[in-house]
Structure 1
Amino acid sequence: MNKPSRRVHYLSATLHLLPLVSLMVSISLFSQVIIGAPALKPSATAAPRYLFLFIGDGMGPAQIKLADAVLENGHALKMTSFPVLGMATTHAENRYITDSGAASTALATGRKTTVGTISMAGNHLDTLLTIAEMAKAKGMKTGIVSSVGINDATPACFYAHTPSRSNSYDIAVQMASSGFDYFGGGYAEGNLPENRQKAPAFKGDIAERMRSAKYLITHNRIELQKVKPGIRCWAYTGYDAKAAMDYAMDRNPENIALDEFTREGIRLLDNPHGFFMMVEGGKIDWACHANDAAAAAHDVKAFDNAIAEALAFYRRHPKETLIIVTADHECGGLSLGNRTNGYDTRLSLLRRQKISHQRFSEKVSSWKKSGTVTFPMAIDSVNTYYGISMKDADSTLALTPANYKTLEEAYTTTIKPESTDIFTSAVTGLLNVRAGIGWSSNAHTAVPVQVFAIGKGAERFRGFYDNTDIAKKIMQIAELKKDAPSRINQVNKHRLILPQ
């Protein structure tokens, strides 16, 4: 009788071992489920699970460099450390110089629209689906954070749809119907009495509508920190007459900062299905409209602190996170250098300014009402808050006779009953000139803006492209479906236009 070959012995042994191998694999898988062993690593081709989009309103390249220069030595902005850099154009559908409505619609939907429009087509008949709504439809949690009013143009473009950004009450109403999980930052300007009265159809108090939609509303740091993940939340802090947070350099420590809203948002949104969060540094734009370089620098830094929170999260989830930082447009035509100083700049002089243009103007307004503050007394305050005086060891900060006369004339005009405040602008402008800062406008410009990226798919943001391409790239990388959430058809009776 023939003896079995070695191959037959090998096959027989293998067959006997198969049940044992199967049992070992089963035990291994069972132990992972029961004992809580680490989950399998994300696939190299999987879409990022966590998406961050940071928008510095009014933040052009000069604003970024200004903040970097004004910071204390040895520090640098986190956003400028990102490995990928791109540039984006910002024009609107109907105007070369855009506004936040058209620009943020482009960033939110990947489509151009007309100035002042909130995530609708320029014909004001068609609704545009946003990347935040796509993320929500995919099962991701969604969060919107801003240092200005939560229904201001930029945040509104991610959850609301309306023909005009001035429809602030209508925008605020759509917060509750959005189903988004987290709103943080400023208050809802649309719920202020003057805006409720202007609404064509009043549908009730916004806070009550939010509570009815199962949102927990918090007003301070302690309340926000107590909110548990999984609970919808609208969190705001102290706000001004326009529902915005204070400028970073004016912030009361008791009020919540932008980075804290971002950190708490990450805590509340983090879940196995991932999340999308948009964070806006809105007060950068406001500072640039006022040509207040110091306030702009401080708010860019506050915005960067919020980015640092996302970066810390990215380091814990490097293969599942994508962070994009950009701007909707530039504001003010800021230049680091001016005609007066030529090649000389002393940007560090801006550190002498202690409060924003807005806060100093409020002081001037109180002086005007009291009628007891003389010009010499006002100059003492200029020294206190801007570091400028008649006599200073630093000649670059000492007032010349011509400076003194200019400020005196501005103050005399300002304190007249029907006059506007030109004194604050004169003082702020004087420090800016001494520092070597130039401004060409009090409005937006068409300067291309920078795009910084890090994380899964970040390499696609290299190059020069249009702002609509930012949203399109995010859709592609994150595999966001273009199916319309049902609530869009409920809120808007217009035709829904899906991204191209």
Structure 2
Amino acid sequence: MKKVSVSLLLFFVFSITVFAQQQYRRPVKPTKNVIVMIPDGTSIGVVSAARWYQIYNKLGGDNLAVDPYLCGTVKTFSSNAPIGDSAPTTSCYMTGMPQQTGNVAIYPVADPENDLIPIDPAMAYQPLPTVLEAAKYQQNKATGLVVTVEFPHATPADCSAHYYARGKYEYIASQMAYQNLDVMFGGGNSILTDDIKQHFKNTGTTLIQDDIKTFRSFNGKEKVWALFNERELPYDLDRDPEVIPSLQEMTQKALDRLSQNENGFFLMVEGSKVDWSAHGNDAVGCITEYLAFDKAVATVMDFAKKNGETTVIVLPDHGNSGFTIGRRDLKSYNKATLDDLFKNVSKFKKTGEGLERILLKSKPEDFKAIFKEYTDIDLNEEELNLLLSSKNYKEADYIKVSNSVNMGSSIINIMDSHTYFGFTTGGHTGEEVFLAAYHPNGDIPVGMNTNVEINQYLCAALGLKTSLPEMRQEIFAKHTDVFKGMDYTIDKSADFPVLKVKKGNVTLSVPAFKSVVYLNNQPIALPSVVVYIDKNDTFYLPKNLIKYLE
């Protein structure tokens, strides 16, 4: 182990404190509402291609809805790596602390050889409050999430849950339900548990499942969850509008509900599957998913300008795939016409995944006709044989599609080969991402901002009186500190661990990953969730719980 001098250690601790508490670099007037919009995994090449695709197909002018609000870039990174994963990058936007791959709004474990920022090893696994939680806890604002993937996926989880592993859906989903969000629109019906559904009944939360008519007619003031599909929603190009609402429609419905709160609201809208398309190297998927997101941007900006009390910030969480307009085999690239570049892709009526779903249910002798119908591509013998040789190999993991020999990747390879779009990888990339913003007073972030500074800007736009580090001490204190010297045990026999603290004839039971505790079996609602970390066998909970035992 390397020795560290006392003076260096003190500087290290001081740096951590400054890092966690510094304010945004320019004055920002707080607004009643704050909206964050994230096109997940969107490299700038996707935005450029979407703009040209829109122009070529005469879909609404020469500009995207986001264009007038572009104001800079964001350097987004993990605590120990320049190329980020969705979990740590959006977690940093939400908490102000860069984190490691897989981390959901939680303090990272120290990695001394690679850390890009000061890390306090003693803070490992500490849940960190998010701006969504701060808006609800400190200001009694309404809160909402709108996504096109299953609701506990990385980005929405980063706003409303805490754990060191993004894939632990059972822990993350429970926290999200017990956050008592005013709005949750997206996918993931198969993830709901009986306990979550019962909690919705207990809190008067309306649950709408695979019912677009009820969703569209909803105009109530109660909390509402509307989920479609078992997991993620289909790509926009493959979506049946009579079954699944668009991201724009869900965003408008969220604004209608959240704007009824007299204290304002915090909303996060994610164009989730730009990222999935990029992982699969599906060019038409990237383009059309971004355009679907851009329509939601138009809806939000229209609301913000009419409302006059709303801050909007639009930014990806990281790049993905190295998407380019132009590729190695494009000769005389500087003479390639708009028609050369966008004619073929504009004929694609399905994404690679959408076409895969059709082909997997079809007879091999029909493949040529089906491909022609949905892409206008006349398959040659080599392409047909590629499909026939891979049709029984379907890659389930969306992150690995571009790197495996499966029906999906074979379809995408054929489709992309008839365009001039290029990809360097099937994974995330480390370039800066675009930044766009709207503020009624013009107090927007400009130039290059880090992901940490984005969090500082959001805190300033909300006008938080208590800093996130101070709030952490209030709602995520260690149970060993709160109940020091008292008689307590951790019961791990149930689905979630339960902390039981006894004093005389009084027993306080604290279930993990919920916001309800029980005093002698009588429920008490909390304003924040309780988190349990098995790595250190620690509950993180409101420090004022001790009052029930005093």
- TM-score over 0.5 for the alignment? yes
| 1:214/1:143 CA distance change after superposition, 3 Å | same
| 1:236/1:448 CA distance change after superposition, 3 Å | same
Partner of 2:377: 388
Number of aligned positions between the proteins: 419
Partner of 2:65: 78
- Kept in 2, the 8 Å contact 1:160–1:174? The answer is yes
Q: How does 1:93-172 map to 2 (within 5 A)?
A: 93-123=79-109, 124-137=124-137, 138-172=139-173
Partner of 2:418: 434
- Kept in 2, the 8 Å contact 1:88–1:448? The answer is yes
- Kept in 2, the 8 Å contact 1:86–1:464? The answer is yes
Write the letter of the residue equivalent to 1:359. Answer: G
Q: What displacement does 1:424 show?
A: 4.2
| 1:233/1:70 CA distance change after superposition, 3 Å | same
Write the letter of the residue equivalent to 1:350. Answer: V
2:212 pairs with 1:218:
no
2:455 pairs with 1:454:
no
2:485 pairs with 1:490:
no
2:45 pairs with 1:62:
yes
Instruction: State the distance in 2 between where 1:147 and 1:165 align.
Output: 17
Q: What displacement does 1:226 show?
A: 4.0
Q: What displacement does 1:364 show?
A: 2.8
Q: What displacement does 1:258 show?
A: 0.9
Q: How far does the alpha carbon of each residue in 1:50-76 deviate from its partner, in whole angstroms, 9 at most, with x for none?
A: 111000001111111111111123523
Q: What displacement does 1:458 show?
A: 4.9
- Kept in 1, the 8 Å contact 2:77–2:83? The answer is yes
Q: How far does the alpha carbon of each residue in 1:315-362 deviate from its partner, in whole angstroms, 9 at most, with x for none?
A: 2123x1111100011111101110001413512321111111112112
Q: How does 1:203-214 map to 2 (within 5 A)?
A: 204-214=194-204
Instruction: State the distance in 1 between where 2:304 and 2:199 align.
Output: 35
Instruction: State the distance in 1 between where 2:321 and 2:224 align.
Output: 35
Instruction: Decide which structure has greater strand share.
Output: 2
| 1:339/1:49 CA distance change after superposition, 3 Å | same
Range moving further from structure 2, 323-332 or 67-76 = 67-76
Write the letter of the residue equivalent to 2:188. Answer: Y
Q: How far does the alpha carbon of each residue in 1:284-312 deviate from its partner, in whole angstroms, 9 at most, with x for none?
A: 11111111111111111111111111112
Instruction: State the distance in 1 between where 2:252 and 2:28 align.
Output: 28
Instruction: State the distance in 2 between where 1:161 and 1:430 align.
Output: 41
Partner of 1:39: none
Partner of 1:246: 234
Q: What displacement does 1:45 show?
A: 8.2
- Kept in 2, the 8 Å contact 1:130–1:159? The answer is yes
Partner of 1:356: 351
Instruction: State the distance in 2 between where 1:96 and 1:47 align.
Output: 31
2:288 pairs with 1:298:
yes
Q: How does 1:272-283 map to 2 (within 5 A)?
A: 272-283=262-273
Instruction: State the distance in 1 between where 2:200 and 2:461 align.
Output: 32
Q: What displacement does 1:205 show?
A: 4.2
Q: Secondary structure at the match of 2:413?
A: helix
Q: Which has the higher contact order (CA 8 A, sep 6+)?
A: 1
| 1:458/1:294 CA distance change after superposition, 3 Å | farther
Q: What displacement does 1:495 show?
A: 7.8
Instruction: State the distance in 2 between where 1:366 and 1:113 align.
Output: 42
| 1:114/1:487 CA distance change after superposition, 3 Å | farther
Instruction: State the distance in 1 between where 2:99 and 2:429 align.
Output: 17
Q: Which has the larger radius of gyration?
A: 1
Q: Secondary structure at the match of 1:450?
A: strand
Instruction: State the distance in 2 between where 1:378 and 1:92 align.
Output: 44
Partner of 2:23: none
Identity of aligned residues (%): 23
2:218 pairs with 1:227:
yes
| 1:477/1:300 CA distance change after superposition, 3 Å | same
| 1:322/1:410 CA distance change after superposition, 3 Å | same
The equivalent position to 1:260 in structure 2, one of 228, 249, 262, is 249
Partner of 1:406: 382
2:314 pairs with 1:325:
yes
Instruction: State the distance in 2 between where 1:163 and 1:416 align.
Output: 35
Instruction: State the distance in 2 between where 1:61 and 1:454 align.
Output: 19
Q: Which runs of 5+ in 2 are unaligned?
A: 1-26, 110-123, 396-403, 476-525, 533-538, 544-550
- Kept in 2, the 8 Å contact 1:101–1:165? The answer is yes
| 1:496/1:407 CA distance change after superposition, 3 Å | farther
Partner of 2:275: 285
Instruction: State the distance in 1 between where 2:215 and 2:236 align.
Output: 20
Q: What displacement does 1:235 show?
A: 1.1
Instruction: State the distance in 1 between where 2:169 and 2:203 align.
Output: 19
- Kept in 1, the 8 Å contact 2:247–2:292? The answer is yes
2:349 pairs with 1:365:
no
- Kept in 2, the 8 Å contact 1:217–1:234? The answer is yes
Write the letter of the residue equivalent to 2:78. Answer: A
| 1:424/1:190 CA distance change after superposition, 3 Å | closer
Q: What displacement does 1:181 show?
A: 1.0
Instruction: State the distance in 2 between where 1:312 and 1:129 align.
Output: 30
